Amino acid sequence: LLGYVTILLHLGIAAVQSGAIGAFFLPCAASYVLGLHEFAGADINLMSTPWVLAVSVFFLFNLIQGLQGRLLPEDWPLTPYALFPWNAKQWEALHSRLVDGDTRLVLTDGCDPTGLRVVKLEHKADARRKQWEEFKVGHPYDIWNRLIGVTTFQNALLAALDKEFEAMASPGWTAEAFTRSIEDWLAEGRLVEIATGKALCRAVYVIVDSEGVVKELLSSGAFGLKEPLLAGG
């Protein structure tokens, strides 16, 4: 019963919240079949072979993460499942600097984003379609939910961000060190704008207006605080 209810949960997410999210997590059904085992009409008894195997796999990967002090790298099939990884203070700091106020951390191909609307990561299909119809290539991309977010982060960026949380509570936080860490990570060509084939190589901390348009550059990892961006990648 629990297995069927869990699948209904994903179908409900697809119907009510986002079809993309529902479809993305639907392959979890295979894990439910194997892990819960109720679909086959058999229960996993304590200390049985399936029980020992499941516990061993769970313990092994958690032991590796515990010894390393971080999640496993994004390297399929050992991709980690980072669901809501932030504590309350970290969540408040991230939202105050990157989501709720008038400051955003954006990614560009090296061009000056001033005067351009920031492309957020929209989960709802209609909003995402409208966004792509409105925006032309070259717009800055919001880092939130792309590199860090509700269920998203990269180990290299987490290590850099961990040093920033205390400073983020200060009004004078410039994000210069953090944007530099992001650009070091981007240097391997990890993110590419599909429409142009250009790699996103610059991280810029900006101020946006009420419409999400960049009106001021605060800092960039490559060029420092309040330095103009150079055109090109």
pLDDT at 80: 59
Q: Where are the beta strands (DSSP E) in 48-169?
A: 103-108, 141-142
Q: What is residue 136's predicted lDDT score, i.e. its pLDDT?
A: 60
Q: Is the pTM of this model over 0.75?
A: no
What are the DSSP calls for 141-186, one per residue?
Answer: EE-BTTTBSSS---HHHHHHHHTTHHHHTSTT---HHHHHHHHHHH
What pLDDT was estimated at residue 215? 93
| Helix, strand or coil, per DSSP, at residue 194 | coil
Q: Tell me what percent of the residues of the chain surpass a pLDDT of 70.
A: 71
Question: Using one digit for the tens of pLDDT, what is the confidence trace for 77-114?
Answer: 566 566 667 778 888 889 999 998 899 999 998 888 89
- Give the dihedral sign, CA 126/154/66/85: negative
What are the residues whose beta carbons fall under 8 Å from the beta carbon of 69, sequence distance 6 or more? none
Question: Could you give the CA distance from residue 10 to residue 164 in angstroms, rounded to a whole number?
Answer: 35
Phi-psi category of residue 232: left, alpha or beta, with phi > 0 → left and psi -120 to 50 → alpha: left
Please identify which residue in the block is written with the tokens 């966004």. Answer: 131
Q: Tell me, what's the pLDDT at 3?
A: 64
